[in-house]
Amino acid sequence: MNQALSPIHRVVTGHDAHGQAVVSHNGALPTVIELSALPGTVFHEVWSTQGAPCLVSNGDDPTLAPLMLPPPALGTRIRFVDIPPDTTEFLRGGVHSTRAAFAEIGDAAASTAQANSPHPLMHRTETVDYGVVMEGEIVLVLDDSEVALQRGGVVIQRGTNHAWANRSDRVCRMLFVLVDGAYEPALAQALKGTHP
- The answer to whether residue 139 sits within a structural domain is yes
* Cβ pair 107, 68 in contact under 8 A: yes
Q: Residue 181 and residue 124: Cα distance in Å, rounded? A: 12
Rounded average pLDDT over 57-83: 97
CB 99 within 8 A of CB 112: no
Domain membership of residue 16 (yes or no) is: no
Q: 25 lies in a domain?
A: no
The Cα–Cα gap between 113 and 106 comes to 17
In a domain, 173, yes or no: yes
pLDDT of 94 higher than 80? no
Is 15 contained in some domain? no
Would you say residue 23 lies in a domain? no
If we measure between CA atoms, which residue out of 71, 74, 80, 64 comes closest to residue 31? 64
Distances in Å between the alpha carbon of 83 and those of 15, 58, 74, 136?
36, 32, 27, 10
Q: What percentage of residues in the chain have a pLDDT greater than 90?
A: 83
Is residue 1 domain-resident? Answer: no
CATH number for the domain that contains residue 138: 2.60.120.10
Q: What's the structural domain count of the chain?
A: 1
Decide if 11 is inside a domain.
Answer: no
State which residues form the domain around 150: 32-191
pLDDT tens digits for range 118-133: 999 999 999 999 999 9
Q: Can you tell me the distance from the alpha carbon of 171 to that of 85, in angstroms, rounded to the nearest whole number?
A: 6
Q: Residue length, the chain? A: 196
Going by their DSSP bridges, the two strands 21-28 and 9-15 should be labelled as antiparallel
Q: What is the pLDDT of residues 150-177, one digit of tens each?
A: 999 999 999 999 999 999 999 999 999 9
